[in-house]
Amino acid sequence: MEEEIETPRDPKPCGPLEEYRIPDYVLRPDAQQVLVDHAPQCPVLVFINSKSGGQLGSSLIKTYRELLNEAQVIDLSEEAPDKVLQRLYVNVERLKMEGDILAVQIWRTMRLIVAGGDGTASWLLGVVSDLKLSHPPPIATVPLGTGNNLPFSFGWGKKNPSTDQEAVKLFLGLVKHAKEIKIDSWHLILRMRAPKEGPCEPIAPLELPHSLHAFHRVSSGDSHDVEGYHTFRGGFWNYFSMGMDAEISYAFHTERKRNPDKFKNQLTNQGQYAKLGLKQGWFCASLSHPSSR
C-alpha cells in the first residue's frame, strides 16, 4: 500500500511560504551548507509535467518557483522523478550521518506534490514504491490532465487549477493540513507464448504508459517462469479497465503522443475521447468489430 493524502474538510489559512521551503544544500550535494533558524513545518518537493494542461503546466512551474526554492520544483519533461529522489535521499542520508538535525526533520515531514494527468501521478507513485524507501513521503495530486480520476478520488477535484500565486498558496495550505490515507497498488504477471521463430523483445520502458511501472522479464529461477513462455512482472495503481473503454484510452494515449499539438486543453482532449468512443461503437457496438460486439 502506498500513501496518498486527502484534502481536509476545513483547511486553516496558509502560513508563511518558509514553511514549505527546502534549502539548497539538502536538495543538492554540491550546494553550500547554511544555517536555518527553524525547520519548515511542511517541506514539499514539487513535480510538474510542463506538457500537461496545455500551457498550464509551464505556468504552474513558473508560479511555484517564484514562491519556493527553484530547486525544489522539478519539470518532469527535463528530469525523471526517480533520479531526483535518489539524489535527494542519498544526500539526506549523508547529512544524517553528519548529525544534521534539519535534514532529519525534513526527511520525516516532507510531502510530494505532483501536477499532471493520471498517468503522471501514477508514474510518481510507482517510482516511490519501486525505490522502497524506509519512510516514503505522502503524495498530493494536482489535477492537470483530461480525466483527473486519481486526484478526484482523493478529494483534490477534477478541474484544472488556477496558476496565480494566491491559488498556489491556497493549495499549499491544503497540502499542509491534509490527512494521509492509503492507495491500492496492483501487481500482475504477463505471460506470452514464445514464438517458434524470431525474437520476442520486451517493450522499452519509455514506450509503456507511466501507470505501468517496474515491468521487467522475470529471471529463469523465478517461480513464475514457465518454459516456452516469456513472462514479465509489473504493477499499476488504483484502478484498471479491460475491453472497449481500455481500447479507447490506449488509442487516446497513442494519438496524443503522435500529435501533441492537437491536445492543448482539457475540453479539446475530452472531445477527442468522445470521438474515439463513437468510432469504437461505445453506444452501439460496431458490427464490423467482432471484439466490440
Q: Are residues 169 and 189 in the same domain?
A: no
Q: Are residues 112 and 137 in the same domain?
A: yes
Q: What is the torsion angle, in degrees rounded to the nearest 10, for the CA atoms of residue 198, residue 211, residue 117 and residue 250? A: 40
Q: Are residues 91 and 217 in the same domain?
A: no
State the pLDDT at residue 210: 52
State the pLDDT at residue 201: 59
5 found inside a domain: no
State the pLDDT at residue 241: 57
pTM above 0.85, yes or no: no
* Structure-block grid coordinates of residue 271: 472531445
Name residues of the chain where pLDDT drops below 70: 1-16, 197-215, 236-246, 249, 253, 263-267, 270, 273, 278-293
At 49, which CATH number?
3.40.50
41 found inside a domain: yes
Q: Are residues 161 and 212 in the same domain?
A: no
- Locus of grid cell 479491460: 242
Give per-residue pLDDT as tens, 195-219. 776 665 555 544 555 555 556 777 8
Name the domain count of the chain: 3
State the pLDDT at residue 15: 43
Q: Are residues 34 and 73 in the same domain?
A: yes
Q: Are residues 29 and 86 in the same domain?
A: yes
Q: Are residues 53 and 109 in the same domain?
A: yes
Q: Are residues 141 and 276 in the same domain?
A: no
Q: Are residues 169 and 220 in the same domain?
A: no
State the pLDDT at residue 14: 46
Q: Are residues 42 and 170 in the same domain?
A: yes
Among 129, 166, 161, 119, which Cα is nearest to 142's? 161
8 found inside a domain: no
State the pLDDT at residue 240: 54
- HSE-up of 19 (CA within 13 Å, CB side)? 13
1 found inside a domain: no
Q: Are residues 39 and 138 in the same domain?
A: yes
Domain span at residue 203?
185-239
Q: Are residues 173 and 28 in the same domain?
A: yes
